[in-house]
Amino acid sequence: MTTAHYIAMVAAFVLICAGGATGQTKGAIQSETAPPKLVMLVYQRFPFDKATESGKALAPQHVLV
Amino acid sequence: MNLDVPNSWIVLESVTGDSEVLSFDPFDSFAHIGKAFAKWGAIYAAHAELGKFQAQINSALASKRTIVAERRDDLSYRANRIDLSKARFLRVLEIRLHPGHEREFAEAFKGLTAAYEKTESDLPWVVYQLNVGMPSPTFFAFVPMRTLAQNDDLRNLRDLLPEAKGEAAERMQQIARAVYANTESNLYAISPEKSHVSKEFAAGDPEFWTPQPPAPMRVAAKKSGKNKPTQ
């Protein structure tokens, strides 16, 4: 992975995380911090054991399933 | 740029097992997932640079697997006491069954829950059943933990469980032998800086989810006189 590649991935993460999350169901039975009714689990593996480094940009990755 | 994103996610990094990153994305329903999916589509359409980032990320991935699972309160143990905002680690047990044995699995797990109730364990867990995304039937048990030391509590509980299970112990072992195709248990550490949670969620443990700026910045601010009390 090149440095430019890494920087771009971090930038993507920062870009996405700049805003607040909306779309949460208000007035749901469970509280905000309780286990959700549904969970989407996204398992991601990176080559060359780069998981920690690449993980900085993972947040926007999983939403495009 | 300030994006208004449609959902939250909690990023977990593997402590045991294969090196991987697991994103835990809470939703209320498939309709909720659908709305988020549509909104992300609009976000990407409006911000072409994100598509480039996405392509770069995809090119760096060795593998990716996405599944959706639904909560099973009847198989969980004191799940109503779980506060995910307080967790630092998640122990995840994945159980794959031979087809057609969900009923026996449910019987075994309800027996396990009853046994844990007798031990008065304060380590709650929540069970999810796979809905879509991988071979089924598959179940996931999540045990949120504040510290890894709580795994010692779990080990100690195992010594108490046979007695707590009573006559059901042998039946539960029979079920496990007959219906489990395989199981895998792993530990993950929660990464707050890579996660994105709501303000309400973060309020459950602000120091962890919204850490303060590094100390040098605060020192610099003091030296500049910004924090001097007014007279």
A25 secondary structure, DSSP code: P
Q: Is B126 an 8 Å CB contact of chain A?
A: yes
* Complete DSSP assignment for B54-123: HHHHHHH-SEEEEEEEEEEEEEEESGGG--GGG-SEEEEEEEEE-TT-HHHHHHHHHHHHHHHHHHT-S-
At A60, the pLDDT band (50, 70, 90 cuts) reads very low
pLDDT, tens digit, 9 for 90 and up, residues B195-211: 999 999 999 999 999 87
In A, which residues are within 8 Å of B204 by CB distance? 32-33
Burial bucket for residue B167 (CB in 10 Å: 0-12, 13-18, 19+): exposed
Cβ pair B133, B65 in contact under 8 A? yes
Residues A59, B36: C-beta atoms closer than 8 Å: no
Q: Which of B77, B196, B209 to mutate to test the interface with A (most CBs of A within 10 A)?
A: B196
Q: Which of B4, B30, B33, B56 to mutate to test the interface with A (most CBs of A within 10 A)?
A: B56
In this prediction, residue B52 carries a pLDDT of 87
In this prediction, residue B71 carries a pLDDT of 98
Please report, as a single letter, which amino acid is at residue B115.
Answer: A
Cβ pair B69, B130 in contact under 8 A? yes
Q: Is A29 an 8 Å CB contact of chain B?
A: no
- pLDDT(A43) > 70: yes
CA–CA distance from B110 to each of B11, B114, B131, B230 (Å)? 30, 6, 20, 63
The predicted complex's ipTM stands at: 0.87
Residues B9, A54: C-beta atoms closer than 8 Å: no
Cβ pair B10, B202 in contact under 8 A? no
Residues B70, A52: C-beta atoms closer than 8 Å: no
- Count the neighbouring beta carbons within 10 Å of the beta carbon of residue A39: 22
pLDDT, tens digit, 9 for 90 and up, residues B45-57: 999 898 888 888 8
Residues B18, A59: C-beta atoms closer than 8 Å: no
Least confident of A19-33, B3-17, B87-101, B122-136: A19-33
Helix A3-17 × helix B48-60 angle, to 10°: 130
At B222, the pLDDT band (50, 70, 90 cuts) reads low
Number of H helices, E strands in chain A: 3, 1
The alpha carbon dihedral of A61, B1, B2, B3 has a sign of negative
Q: Which residue has the higher pLDDT, B168 or B153?
A: B153
Residues A44, B39: C-beta atoms closer than 8 Å: no
Q: Is A56 an 8 Å CB contact of chain B?
A: yes
Residues B26, A39: C-beta atoms closer than 8 Å: yes
